[in-house]
Structure 1
Amino acid sequence: MLITPHQQTAERTHRMPTPQSVLMTMLGRYCVDDNPPIATSGYIDVLGRIDVSEHATRLTVTRMTERGLLERQRRGRIAYFKATEVALNVVRNQDRRTFENSTGPSGPEGVWTILSFSMPETQRNERHLLRRRLAWEGFGLLRDGVWIAPGDHDLGDVLDQLLPTGVGRRVEAFTAYPKFSDVKGMISRTWQLDELTERYEQFLGEWDVPTPAPGVRDALGKDLLLITSWRQLLRETPRLPAAHLPDDWPAERCLELFRTLHAAYDREARDLFAGVLARSAQD
């Protein structure tokens, strides 16, 4: 059901969640407040519920540690891992975007925020984090190094969270109004709205059924997969004014479905994760 670190999706329009993205969802839902160290067996337990192998889980945890998202602690012969501050900042922002109510642009009508940056290859991880954060804020890549978003965005929070990485010194941002009439053309070059519409329809096809995610073991696995799948759509969805969206844009229907299913899974999922933590603490 998931793409392992050694697999790539065959269809461009159907991007399944990766094990790392599911673990980031787990950290955001259950670990932000006290950030408990979790034994490797706990990560294997969680991802095993959605049919990820032990080997793929160990590889994912290792790579997340190398990328600065997890930090390792050793207690005797057992390795434990907890989220780094960088990861906590990322998942806090993901949760805010996932569960907030506002979806439209802010600021005066017709204004756009433009951001440009250039970072050396030695800052590849920092560049990746900035790109992901910009996508979460509704920015799209107009051309190499130039990102745009409708509305007037306060980027202070984005840059403050990445301050320890030194990213802010390489970023320029300003607001502007287009000096041309073909705004829809600019939008089509930046966001693939037809492809996004197809992916929203796929989300409905996978989750608006009597038994969603039939191969997933329990409510914890279903909720993590649901949230992660929904976030993939949100991360690539621009906060465009309704006038610039396609007719019959399916995002609102998907949002209502997501909220309904998450409400159904949430309580049992939390209880199951508490059991994961309890078993991890006994290792």
Structure 2
Amino acid sequence: MKPRSLMFTLFGEYVQNYGGEIWVGSLIQMMERFGVSESSVRGAILRMVQKDLMKVRKIGNRSYYSFTPQGINQINEGVKRVYSERNAKWDGQWRILTYSFPEAKRDMRNEIRKELNWTGFGAISNSTWVSPNPIEKQVMELMERHQLGDYMMLFTSSKVMSHDNQEIVNKGWDLQHISDEYDRFIQEHLKIYDYLREKALQNTLTDEESFIERTKIVHEYRKFLFNDPIFPVDLLPENFRGTEARELFWKIHQMISIPAVRCFESLYESAPDREVEPHRERAVNPFNKVYM
């Protein structure tokens, strides 16, 4: 687990539900459970502060960290995509983005490509990206945030004259590869599910083990956000394994969430000037169940 990515997971899963701020000592203790050293934690925090993703508050000789609005946007978008259900029907609109960056802005162009990929766009040529998802708002915010109006244009179209929809999908994405990755996730985590379920039935599953396993499965599942464009169901190929992987992810998550949060609470320390009411966060199951 890379320290920066793990911090996004910990804040998205836990810290944001407890005021969004944490003592660095608590963060170090949590990340030690995943083999991340104190020096690696502090180095990752420094880099994230320099990139305006995190900020620090000093109280006495203690440091308390939270995410900036820019970082919170990334966390919220990730959490939303992890826990949101796919749309069943496509609205028939392609979102088409074109750009042209001067060579002096090469670094910006590379950064924008990463953000477009994260948002779910697929590249059908060097400077043309498309998506069937209703993500106009995110794109306009991206353009405004980076002041890209002179370099990018966004269109929508209900019809492409030269190619049918399946040809466009095949140009922009390798959905079979994504499905194969989901299949590997399923095969690996079916064993983990059976193992954890057996321990839970025997009452030998500890809070710390639950915290580690919940964090790990969310961390692993989040990786699909960089590959799976989260297409509406009616644009997916037959036997696409994404829904099965999601169901398994939720079964494991739901089974171990309460003891995982207990472990988090035992490690978490907020700033002394902030009273954070300990609680079990509520999450709505996309399969119409609720856990506390």
Which interval holds the TM-score relative to the shorter structure?
Answer: 0.7 to 0.9
- Which residue of the partner structure matches residue 274 of structure 1? 265
1:134–1:270: structure 2 CA closer, same or farther, 3 Å change rule? farther
- Which residue of the partner structure matches residue 14 of structure 1? none
Name whichever of 28-37 and 250-259 sits farther off.
28-37
Q: Give the letter aligned to residue 51 of structure 2.
A: R
Percent identity at matched positions?
21
Q: Give the letter aligned to residue 204 of structure 1.
A: I
Question: After superposition, what is the alpha-carbon deviation per residue over 1:124-144, rounded to whole angstroms, capped at 9, x for unaligned?
Answer: 57963x555544443222233
- Which residue of the partner structure matches residue 76 of structure 2? 92
Question: After superposition, what is the alpha-carbon deviation per residue over 1:66-121, rounded to whole angstroms, capped at 9, x for unaligned?
Answer: 2221112333333332111101111111111111123446423xx31111235576
Structure 1 residue 27 corresponds to structure 2 residue 18: no
Structure 1 residue 281: Cα displacement: 6.0
Is residue 50–residue 217 contact of structure 1 (8 Å, CA) maintained in 2?
A: no
Question: After superposition, what is the alpha-carbon deviation per residue over 1:180-214, rounded to whole angstroms, capped at 9, x for unaligned?
Answer: 245434323321223212211221122111237x9
Q: Structure 1 CA distance, aligned partners of 2:68 and 2:272? A: 19
Name whichever of 238-247 and 84-93 sits farther off.
238-247
Q: Structure 1 CA distance, aligned partners of 2:214 and 2:62? A: 28
Q: Structure 1 CA distance, aligned partners of 2:62 and 2:80? A: 34
3-state secondary structure, aligned to 1:73: strand
Q: Give the letter aligned to residue 250 of structure 1.
A: R
Q: Give the letter aligned to residue 205 of structure 1.
A: Q
- Which residue of the partner structure matches residue 49 of structure 1? 33
3-state secondary structure, aligned to 1:178: coil
What is the aligned residue count? 260
Match of 1:265 among 256, 267, 271: 256
Structure 1 residue 156 corresponds to structure 2 residue 132: no
Is residue 90–residue 232 contact of structure 2 (8 Å, CA) maintained in 1?
A: no
- Which residue of the partner structure matches residue 235 of structure 1? 226
Structure 1 residue 144 corresponds to structure 2 residue 126: yes
- Which residue of the partner structure matches residue 97 of structure 2? 115
Q: In structure 2, list runs of 5 or more residues that go unmatched.
A: 197-204, 274-292
Is residue 90–residue 235 contact of structure 2 (8 Å, CA) maintained in 1?
A: no
Name whichever of 225-234 and 238-247 sits farther off.
238-247
Q: Give the letter aligned to residue 184 of structure 1.
A: Q
Q: Structure 2 CA distance, aligned partners of 1:273 and 1:118? A: 46
Structure 1 residue 269: Cα displacement: 2.0
Q: In structure 1, list runs of 5 or more residues that go unmatched.
A: 3-17
Name whichever of 162-171 and 255-264 sits farther off.
162-171
Is residue 119–residue 127 contact of structure 1 (8 Å, CA) maintained in 2?
A: no
- Which residue of the partner structure matches residue 162 of structure 2? 180
Structure 1 residue 190 corresponds to structure 2 residue 172: yes
Q: Structure 1 CA distance, aligned partners of 2:25 and 2:105? A: 33
Structure 1 residue 74 corresponds to structure 2 residue 55: no
- Which residue of the partner structure matches residue 286 of structure 2? none
Is residue 49–residue 218 contact of structure 1 (8 Å, CA) maintained in 2?
A: no
